[in-house]
């Protein structure tokens, strides 16, 4: 077990640490703005649309290129892949293109393949993330990724960051029935490791991450100010709020008296 230092707070006797991926471990806008841009670009090419629609399609999926940020309501970065795709389909329907679901599925898969061959352009770790996950694993704490992304993409990202031996389980959106803030992903992880709720924490950059941890009854849920959540929003529901993941420290539990 380990003790987790979060600002002035200490969360003791933790054996399972669950992390969101985007905005928590890797930079949120950097990753999703590129993913969504290429999805929109490929769709425009397939349908013969002018590139002026790239911005509109991207905005529908949740990226505001004018403000250089993700829309606070998502869907990208917050909701599962199918919901993001639905927004693209609806945008195209408004333009008079019907029955584009199969096309969008194909394009999303094409962009997945493209990004896998250009991971350095898409994945940028948040300072301190790699070090923290490695320290947790070194001291015997199990590390889990709970993400709204699909599990294979999360696995590829962790391998790119050299964390394949530090992350013990990835729970993607496709592996559970209900998405965040429901506690399904956490319950899945607790069952895999036969871990008690009092020995687990949740770490994330969005309210739904922290709410998921609270709904699961975990010992602590930590909000990071590197994504969707603001300090005022987080502090209403959890005492554990820090600027970024580098401000979380881990110490091995000493049983010496």
Kindly report, residue by residue over 119-178, the tens digit of the pLDDT: 999 999 999 999 999 999 999 999 999 999 999 999 999 999 999 999 999 999 999 999
The confidence score (pLDDT) of residue 257 equals 39
- For residue range 198-257, list pLDDT tens digits in order: 999 999 999 999 999 999 999 999 999 999 999 999 999 999 999 999 999 998 876 543
Residue 82 has pLDDT above 50, yes or no: yes
User: Which has the closest alpha carbon to 148: 74, 201, 242?
Assistant: 74
| Residue 234 preceded by cis peptide, ω within 30 | no
Helix, strand or coil for residue 3?
A: strand
pLDDT for res 254 = 66
Q: Which CATH superfamily is domain 2-27+125-252 in?
A: HAD superfamily/HAD-like (3.40.50.1000)
Phi, psi dihedral angles at 131 (to 5 degrees):
-60, -45
Domain ranges, ordered by start, for the chain: 2-27+125-252, 29-121
pLDDT of residue 256: 46
The rounded Cα 245 to chain-centroid distance in angstroms is: 13
Reported as a single tens digit per residue, the pLDDT across 16-54 is 999 999 999 999 999 999 999 999 999 999 999 999 999
R_g of the chain, CA atoms, integer Å: 19
């Amino acid at each position: 077990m380990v003790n987790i230092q979060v600002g002035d707070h200490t969360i003791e006797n933790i054996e399972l640490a669950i992390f969101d991926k985007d905005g928590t471990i890797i930079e949120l806008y950097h990753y999703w703005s590129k993913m969504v841009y290429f999805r929109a670009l490929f769709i425009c090419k397939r349908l013969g649309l002018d590139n002026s629609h790239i911005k509109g399609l991207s905005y529908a999926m949740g990226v505001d290129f004018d403000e250089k940020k993700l829309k606070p309501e998502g869907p990208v970065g917050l909701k599962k892949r199918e919901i993001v795709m639905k927004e693209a389909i609806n945008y195209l329907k408004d333009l008079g293109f019907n029955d584009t679901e199969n096309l969008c599925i194909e394009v999303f898969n094409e962009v997945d393949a493209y990004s896998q061959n250009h991971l350095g352009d898409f994945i940028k770790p948040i300072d301190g993330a790699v070090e923290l996950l490695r320290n947790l694993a070194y001291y015997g704490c199990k590390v889990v990724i709970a993400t709204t992304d699909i599990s294979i993409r999360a696995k590829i990202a962790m391998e790119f960051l050299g964390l394949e031996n530090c992350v013990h389980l990835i729970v993607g959106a496709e592996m559970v029935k209900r998405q965040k803030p429901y506690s399904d992903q956490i319950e899945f992880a607790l069952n895999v490791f036969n871990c008690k709720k009092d020995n687990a924490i949740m770490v994330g950059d969005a309210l739904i991450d922290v709410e998921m941890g609270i709904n699961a009854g975990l010992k602590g849920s930590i909000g990071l100010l590197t994504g969707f959540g603001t300090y005022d929003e987080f502090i209403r529901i959890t005492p554990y709020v820090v600027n970024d993941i580098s401000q979380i420290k881990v110490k091995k539990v000493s049983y010496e008296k």
